[in-house]
Structure 1
């Protein structure tokens, strides 16, 4: 592979997850991001209580992300070959953790509504 571009990355993800599932995941991520921006604009500040609970949920999101990728790629931990595989796995864990924290914050904001931290 002589050329590495953004389209190459998209093609790899479409091959790994399937075209429909990949674009569904992109749409869900975009919707959660839009909801997060809406909540921040609506509340005009971050609630530290909601933020703390969202941070406490991060390990769950990381584990779920790793499990999902292992399930979709039909791989297991025995298939991890070298350091780059571990780095990719840590990246998946980190992305899942951050994404799940944002989701938890948004869900709390919609369920509880506006709250002031006094």
Structure 2
């Protein structure tokens, strides 16, 4: 694998997660992203209370993302081979943390009524 192309990355992710699950995750991520931008445009500002609650959920998202990848790859933390594996898992944890924060903030904004005043 001399060249790392977008198609190669897609093929690897489809192999790890399966085509159906991978594209379902991509679709869900797209829907949450569009909803997040909708909330930002609709509200014209960030609610710092919702933002704080979203940040408090970040450790849960990080742990869940790492656990999900370990389950999908039938692996364990004992199989980490070196610094690159640790960097990849830190990236997975960061992506899970940011993803759950966006999801929580968006869900709060869409489900809770805005206070008038």
Task: Give the TM-score, by structure 1 length.
Answer: 0.95
Structure 2 unaligned spans of 5+: none
2:12 is aligned to 12
Structure 1 unaligned spans of 5+: none
Instruction: State whether structure 2 residue 40 is matched by structure 1 residue 59.
Output: no
What is the deviation of 1:4?
Answer: 1.1
Distance in 1 (CA, whole Å) between partners of 2:115 and 2:62 is 28
Runs of 4+ in structure 1 over 6 Å off: none
Distance in 2 (CA, whole Å) between partners of 1:88 and 1:115 is 42
1:110 is aligned to 110
RMSD across aligned positions (CA)? 1.3
| Count of aligned pairs between the two proteins | 117
Task: Give the TM-score, by structure 2 length.
Answer: 0.96
